[in-house]
Structure 1
Amino acid sequence: MSTAPTLNGQVIGQAHYATRALLERAAGPLGLRFAQVVALNALAAGPVERAQLVHRLTSTLKVDEPAVREVIDALVDADLAQVDGPAPQLRLTDTGHVTRARVADAVAGITARLYAGIPADEADAAARVLTLVTQRANAELAAS
């Protein structure tokens, strides 16, 4: 008789890395890495001050500022984002919007396939648990 796996960091990590690998496979032909996709998504809502974007990406990706600056510079160099205004704000270019839409379409397909058939109440419970675990981990990181 098979037993359900124990919810722990290993199980969560395996799901993250497997899903991330699918995303990277979809984004690769567009010349994008995972961190660049995250940055494109952050810029999709509109212009963001560079410092705010750096903070958002360092806290989301758990990487240092130089790594985030490389991601931002790569997006600018690829004409996917540009810097506007005196208080340097980054925004998506037209090419950036098109590229982000292509990634979003790929993600929608991946999501539909991976989450198909999971009952809504189970998906909701998993989302609540993972959100709580993320909040607790972030609180511990902030405290240290």
Structure 2
Amino acid sequence: MTTLNGRILGQAERATRAVLDRLLARSGTTFEQWVAVNLTAAGPLTRDELLAQMSAGLRTDPAGHVDAAFAAGLLTGDVALTDLGRSRYEEISAGINAITGQIYGDLSPEDLDTAGRVLLQVTARANAALAAA
């Protein structure tokens, strides 16, 4: 039996992130730019909302990364996807879908549901510990 711990979580995150980084590199998109594009594609945001969501997810000040996404022509001034941003979103999303199928495709839905619930609970507890500190 394998017991879930920080090392296992970290190894899984770093391995999947390396696969994502390889995909992103093909399009010249940084991880942080991808986060900005992905969040913007999900719905209209103000710059402040985008910064707040990125800060919460990345645990860092994202202002420079958002500026880089604007400079790369991925986002418009009113925080919407440009044509290039929409194209990049579709290209990277298709690549992620293919990778997801390779990595998760043969795992049972029950195992995926359990893992998802556990990881959400671990994340919530870690966030609570950060807030309490």
TM-score range for the pair, normalised by the shorter chain length: over 0.9
Choose the corresponding residue for 2:91, options 96, 102, 121.
102
1:137 aligned onto 2:126? yes
1:1-144 equivalence runs, <5 A: 4-63=1-60, 65=61, 68-84=62-78, 90-144=79-133
Amino acid at match of 2:20: L
Secondary structure at the counterpart of residue 126 of structure 1: helix
Spell out structure 1 runs of 4+ moving beyond 3 A: none
Q: 1:75 touches 1:81 (CA, 8 Å); kept in 2?
A: yes
Unaligned residue ranges in structure 2 (runs of 5+): none
Number of positions where the alignment pairs a residue of Structure 1 with one of Structure 2: 133
The AA in structure 1 aligned to 2:123 is T
Q: Which has the higher strand share?
A: 1
Deviation at 1:47, TM superposition (A): 2.4
Give the distance between the partners of 1:28 and 1:127, measured in 2 at CA: 27
* Unpaired runs of at least 5, structure 1: 85-89
- What amino acid is aligned across from residue 5 of structure 1 in structure 2? T
TM-score, structure 1 length as denominator? Answer: 0.88
- CA radius of gyration, larger in: 1
* TM-score normalised according to structure 2 size: 0.95
Q: Matched residues in 2 for 1:50 and 1:8: separation?
A: 36
The answer to whether the 8 Å contact 1:47/1:92 transfers is no
Alpha-carbon distance in structure 2 between the residues aligned to 1:33 and 1:80: 12
State, as a whole percentage, how many aligned pairs show the same letter. Answer: 39
- How far apart in 1 are the matches of 2:43 and 2:73? 16
Which region of structure 1 is more displaced relative to structure 2, 100-109 or 45-54?
45-54
For 1:46 and 1:126, how far apart are their aligned partners in 2? 27
Cα RMSD after superposing both structures:
1.0
Q: CA deviation at 1:136?
A: 0.8
